[in-house]
Amino acid sequence: MKKNEALLVIDVDRGDGWADNIEELDEERKLVAIRITKTLEAWRKAGGMVVFVVLIDVNRKQETTAQLVEDKPLKCLVCHLLPEKDQLAKFLGHRHGKNYEPVFVKTQNDAFTNSELISFLRSKGITKVFLAGCHTFVCVFETAIGALKNGINVALLKNCVYRQPDQKQEEVWFSEVTNSTTYSFGRSVSIE
C-alpha cells in the first residue's frame, strides 16, 4: 500500500449479521472474516490508512457529525454511542487513541454519499481505495461507483467481500462496475 491508498471496510457490523466472534459466523462469513482480519493486520503493520463505514437507520436522528470523530476516541460513536445493532463487529479490532481508525456512517448503500468521507479522503491525499466488506453487489458495488464518480480509483479485494447467497458471483463484478458508470476516464477499477 502507498500513502495515497486507503482500505475501506464496509458494513462489517452487527446489523449486517456479523457476530463479534469469528467462530460464531457461518462458514462463508467466517472465511471472509478471517481474510479481512489478515488484510487489516497487514495494512496496520505497514502503517496504511484503514477507514470503516457503517450503515445506519435513516429514520434514526443523528445528533452528531457523520464522521465519527478521530480526535475524541473516548467518545467513539461506533463503540459507545451507536445502538448495539449498528456497532462494528469486535473481531475487526477497531483502533482507538493514537492509532485511531476513522469511522464514517452512511444512510445509503454508497459510502460516497457521505460528503465528509469524501472530504476526509481528499484531505489525506487518497486517490485509490481498496474495498472489503459486504454486500458485494449492493453496498460494495455502489461504493465503488461512488468512488469512481468522485475521482478515486477502486480495487475490490475479492477474497475480502461477502455476497449474499442469492447474489451473482464476484467474477462479473468488474464488468458490471465498469459498464455501469460513465465516469471511468482517468480512473481505474481492478479486482485483487
Alpha-carbon distance of 12 to 90, in angstroms, equals 10
Domain count, the chain: 1
The CATH code of the domain that includes 38 is 3.40.50.850
What pTM value is reported for the model?
Answer: 0.85
**pLDDT at 118 (0 to 100):** 95
Q: Mean pLDDT per segment of 10 residues, for the chain of length 192 residues? A: 93 89 92 96 96 79 47 58 81 85 89 93 96 86 90 90 67 64 61 74
- Classified as helix, coil or strand, 155 is strand
Domain span holding position 106: 5-191
Sequence-distant (6+) residues with CB within 8 A of 61 are none
Q: 10 Å Cβ neighbour count for 44?
A: 16
Closest CA to 70 of 95, 105, 42, 91: 95
**pLDDT at 96 (0 to 100):** 78
**pLDDT at 150 (0 to 100):** 92
Contact 156, 191 (CB under 8 A): yes
